[in-house]
């Protein structure tokens, strides 16, 4: 399964959901869905914008966890 660590990166960068929302041009509601791991998909353009604002790599936000073990 894919784990979303957006909240971790936001805390490290000391940025709020509303501030990130404004900078990446995505609604706070949609970012919240992504942050809580309830999103079924994420656009590469959105991921790119988030990485640019948070100065991180996609792997800092998305993590694969083998839940069959």
Report pLDDT digits (tens) over 21-43: 999 999 999 999 999 999 999 99
For residue 69, the model assigns a pLDDT of 73
27 contacts 21 by C-beta, under 8 angstroms: yes
Quote the pTM value: 0.91
pLDDT confidence tier of residue 9, bands split at 50, 70 and 90: very high
Determine the pLDDT at residue 53: 98
Mean pLDDT of 43-69: 95
Per the CB < 8 A criterion, the answer to whether 5 and 49 are in contact is no
Domains of the chain and any CATH numbers? 2-64 (1.10.260.40)
Predicted pLDDT of residue 4? 95
């Amino acid at each position: 399964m894919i784990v979303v660590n957006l909240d971790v990166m936001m805390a490290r960068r000391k940025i709020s959901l509303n501030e990130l929302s404004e900078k990446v041009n995505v609604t706070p509601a949609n970012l919240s869905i992504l942050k809580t791991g309830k999103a079924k998909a994420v656009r590469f353009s959105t991921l790119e914008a988030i990485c640019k604002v948070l100065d991180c790599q996609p792997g800092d936000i998305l993590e694969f966890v083998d839940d069959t073990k």
